[in-house]
Structure 1
Amino acid sequence: MDMTKKLTKDLIEMYWERKCLWQVNSKEYKKRDMKKKAYQEIVMFLRRNGVKEANAKLVREKIQNLRRAMRKEKKRIDSSGGNYSPTLWYYDLLIFVNDQYEDTASISNSSKIGDEKYSDIFCTDTEEDLFSGDDEKIIKEERSTQKALHKVLIKEENKEQGKKLIEEISTETLNTSEFEAVGINFTAKLKRMDYKQQIFAELLIQKVLARGLLGQLSDKTDVTDKS
């Protein structure tokens, strides 16, 4: 699993924040559910940042490799009597795991710092228990995150259009309300006329509406009686 230097720094930082993966004396270290969740979070972060092939198993292997290199560097420092300066670029970033090796001395008396065959302290869980079903869950969570992000982006992108649409709807609603009020007023007055007057009024209203649709109304337009 190839990663850039910056992404490796981010991985180490996320690893440090999730003490259930490395702090052997903590209560969280014994909780498998917390470990699974921690690996899932790291995997999702890596996938969002371009490492599409990332999964829980590959993340675990990547961390193991980093720690193996760390143990080698620590062995050189210890054997030099303080005359060797570490050249591993992430040594200071991952130094928090150094004291964890001494804490695990009781786990395996045959394990030695710097030994290539040293079993990492977070390998006490079986792969089946720790990683089973993770990828499917991660994919679902990732898709859910992507959908939520997509909605936010659409919302931001259409914010101005949304404002304009709201303004147009408000104006249209206001105009509709005014026309409805005029219609109610006309209806009330028509009801006060006798049947014959209602017919004449309706004919005149239709003529006015027709001329208005044709653009023929002006301040000179009026109703007159024919001689």
Structure 2
Amino acid sequence: MTDFRTYSHELLIEFIECFRNYPCLWKIRSSEYKDKNLKFQAYNTLLEIIRKVERDATIDNVKKKINSLRAGYRKEHKKVRDSMRTGSGADQVYVPKLWYYSQLEFLNDQRQGEESADNMDSSEQDNDDSTIDAEYSENDTQSANYNVSPPATPATSIAPSARRKRQANDEIENTIALIGKRLENSDDEYDAIGKNIAAKLRNMTATQQGIAEKLINEVIFLGRFERLTFNTTIQSPGPVQEPQRPLIHIPAVPVQMQEPQAFNLSQDSHTIDISNTLVEYLTFNNNN
């Protein structure tokens, strides 16, 4: 069987959704199913998806992956039906192990006859490398055989049997639908972790929520590239201190007070005392 372990859940869901959107690949009673050009386009669209993981993939790889998905779904579907035929209650019905089982339920109407599906050899399906067209062609032949009118038998013996069979089929389909809903609503450990983180984020301020989201995304990013170790921690830097303004030191200069001195006029290294000259001038004028 094709290994899908290299596929993320998102990528495999994208592949299945794209497959479902092209009935020409699985709806054997539709007019699109016989359109080879439409099938070629569908295969190329699916090829673009798987080349995100397998760069050298071809259309043959696409067909094998489709066969693998359908084979895995049929095996799980057969187990569900077998558990229902034992008379077990709804709580004891086999729950499929494939997490994408409910995503492939659109194939229910396209499966082979009940006897053929129940007796199908699962190992042959796992190793089936034939193209999807050849596989569906076989379904076409078997479906056409069902349209052949059976030999006439008394109506009294057919009607009750057909009614019981129809009721049994309705019960089976209802139980399968119930299982599909249970699978969609079931949470694993990662869903529980996500809900726990979400509850704690709601108690934070908007700023703290943004910072926490950033750190969580960084951790997940490192984990995806296998960079996380047991020594991986988040180091919180110390409090940011505002830079201090530099202090300007101005030394104190003592101011020396000088006593007033007489006004002297210096000229050619000779000092003239104005006060004495004025006295002599006044004395000279008085004598004359």
User: Taking structure 1 as the reference length, what is the TM-score of the superposition?
Assistant: 0.47
User: Taking structure 2 as the reference length, what is the TM-score of the superposition?
Assistant: 0.37
Q: Which has a greater percent of helix?
A: 1
Larger Rg: 2
Larger relative contact order, structure 1 or 2 (CA cutoff 8 Å, min sep 6): 1
